[in-house]
Chains A and B, each alone.
Chain A
Amino acid sequence: MPANRFNGFTDYGVGVGLRIPHYNHIFSRKPVVDWFEIISENFMVDGGRPLAVLDQILERYRVVQHGVSMYFGSADKLNRQHLRRLKTLVRRTGTPWLSDHLCWGSADGRYSHDLLPMPYTFEAAKVTARKIREVRDFLEVPVIVENVSSYAEFHISEMTEWEFLNEVVERADCGILLDVNNIYVSSRNHSFNPGHYLDAVPPERVAQLHIAGHSTFEKYILDTHDHPVIDPVWALYERAIERCGNIATLLEWDQNIPTFEEVHTEARKAEKYLTAPASA
């Protein structure tokens, strides 16, 4: 199950996010890393250091693109300039699949630069799925969608988040980037059982997993990617691996970034679960 049509029939192991504070370490020490995930938007430029760094990384490592601003769920039309630039980058990296979030973030051409939560309606699922298909057809690469952490719910929602996810991926016939930390964060913010979410996800569509740390406040949890992964999230991860198999996994650490060794060591804790039999 790890290699499937949604991740380009690849069988990647445990990756880490490519982040600026680690460049020197990576180029001088050349650590063995299964793969790097890049934030597409950071490299959708015409030249300079970002592309020089990327080309150096591509000489040695496998790279997968992850986006933060496609906003599949926005009622706005897709931004053609964005798509063209993204396609240029897709050709450069040879990414076997491309991920972005199941969210919205712009309206009438104005951008929030945030991952805003979807109303779980059939109308929204239809709009979102249509845009995922358009993006995939334009980019000619498998597109997978990631569940986001959320802090608000809407009166107009007609289903649960996991039902909405399933509705979208079925309509779009696309894969899922399952973020188990996001499931945990949202489960705490909206008082649902994260196990129910996990069990409802179609395992055959899961193409990649995300793990991360978060910050706990008095009345809610915030997805900050600035801590190690906590045990309840590892437990969810273990359950996800049991259901989906040895899926390509990435640790996200985006703020208060420690040394590369610390991040990589934290990520490689996932191998303990990946090397276990795929199903109990």
Chain B
Amino acid sequence: MKLAQLQRQMLADVMRPLAPGHTIAKATTAAYIKPNHRLTAPERLEIYNRQYWFRLADSLRDDFPGLLRVLGERAFRKLAVAYLNECPSRSFTLSDLGRSLPGWLARQVPCSTLAVEMAWLEWAHVETYDAADSPPLGPEDLASLTPGLPLRLQPHIRLLRLHYPVDDIRLGNLSVRAAKKRQPADICLATHRVDGGVFYRRLEPGEFALLQKLSADKPLSQALRGFTGSPQDLQRWFAAWAQLGWLCCPIK
């Protein structure tokens, strides 16, 4: 057996689900793993098999604690197995493990909007935590801006349009049960970073729309095209963004 062939076979066995009905094939395993006087070949393989599932499921639990609360222990475990079966890790770092989870969850039938939105929020949280940041523009920089100049949003900001207050659930301010009873409503949210910590900030719809355009590197004049709000709104938002350091150096 060649190295690549052995590794392909063993990895398939290591990734086999732990659930009943998915036992490690004895004949296949015995063909490449030696037994010893205490353990059979499948038993030796099972040590790696269990560690694989425990490690990866733990990693998902760490990154998606809110989704765990929304779904409950058993449903979350089922979800983790199904997700990892369909979307095995393709990155050297476990930090990327949940990257496809929100989109994957949205494609499941039936699908809970509350759960999907929680997954999007928590993935945004993960990305915000260790994304890059750029030197922010201060009030004096903003005063000298010209309308044609593109502004950039801090790379750690993620913008989310939601229907359920998943931010409140994640922060422990609202129970899952109470959130489920609420009528869906438009919620505009940003995840961002202050002093290394991740924070959530609710946004006004106009503010959200403008930030979306700026995040697409649109020049200010283009971003403001079609804006129907008041100059006072703009002033207020820019002041808040400047204070939070959300705007950074225009692209040269």
Contact = CB atoms under 8 A, between A and B. Distances in A.
Interface of A: 41, 44-52, 69-70, 74-75, 79, 82, 104, 106-114, 116, 119, 121, 123-124, 127, 151-156, 189-191, 219-220, 222
A127 B45 CA distance: 23
Question: For chain B, which range describes its interface: under 10, 10 to 19, 20 to 34, or 35 or more residues?
Answer: 35 or more
Contacts of B11: 106-107, 110, 112, 116
9 contacts: A47-B133, A50-B130, A82-B92, A113-B55, A113-B59, A116-B10, A153-B34, A154-B6, A155-B31
A146 to B, nearest CB: 17
B187 interface: no
B156 interface: yes
9 tightest Cβ-Cβ pairs between the two chains A and B: A49-B196, A46-B132, A75-B4, A45-B130, A48-B130, A152-B44, A47-B132, A69-B92, A111-B89
Nearest to A189: B36
B221 interface: no
A46 B155 contact: yes
Given A47-B132, A48-B131, A112-B52, 11 more contacts: A45-B95, A75-B4, A108-B8, A110-B15, A112-B89, A152-B44, A153-B34, A155-B31, A156-B1, A156-B32, A219-B43
Contact of A47 (B44, B55, B130): B130
B65 to A, nearest CB: 16
Chain B CB count within 10 A is highest, among A82, A119, A191, for: A119
A52 B197 CA distance: 12
Contacts of B94: 41, 113
Nearest to A82: B92
A239 B44 CA distance: 30
Nearest to B35: A153
B3 A219 contact: no
A144 B37 CA distance: 34
B90 interface: yes
Interface in B40-57: 41, 43-45, 47-48, 51-52, 55-56
A155 B29 CA distance: 11
B222 to A, nearest CB: 27
A110 B156 contact: no
B7 interface: yes
Nearest to B59: A113
B95 A154 contact: no
